[in-house]
A = this chain, B = another copy of it.
């Protein structure tokens, strides 16, 4: 999101995080702006029974956990390194100064949060439908529009069914079964367990 050299010139520092480790936890106070440099981060809530609700898979270049920077409340969700990661961090107060100095970046964050809310709207709409296929298609289409993992014309999904389940509020078994159906209907391709999709998934409802 923000140019790394610019961040460094304002005093930002890199931090390594090993796979499975916590970047920050829901409920904690926030002292830094966080931006992912390499690896991937799961950003979500974990309930009492250990069930995860993933709000986003953070990719390199993206910022995450910014709400507390703007509304001064604690972290709304936890960030866990999905694989070995490098994060660049800038002190909260410095970050605010940076925004004040740099109108473009300031507007960029309004744009970012707007896009996020847009995505949340579509998620909630699909959740309201109760249809597993819609929920999954919404996530898949979003990931596809964001992502760059294309093998030929096919977008390759790098998430496990469990992670899809945690992003859609469904059970693994339901996700597996539903995606098999979608494969049968030709909405996506499953080869050796891996999922590929070509076009925007238009649901062919019964």
Contact = CB atoms under 8 A, between A and B. Distances in A.
Contact of A107 (B70, B77, B121, B127): B70
Q: Most chain-B CB neighbours within 10 Å: which of A68, A99, A109, A127? A: A127
Nearest to A100: B103
Contacts of A68: 114
A140 to B, nearest CB: 17
Number of identical protomers:
2
Interface residues of A, dominant DSSP? helix
A84 to B, nearest CB: 26
15 contacts: A45-B121, A47-B125, A51-B128, A53-B124, A66-B114, A67-B114, A70-B107, A71-B111, A76-B117, A77-B121, A100-B103, A106-B106, A120-B121, A124-B124, A124-B169
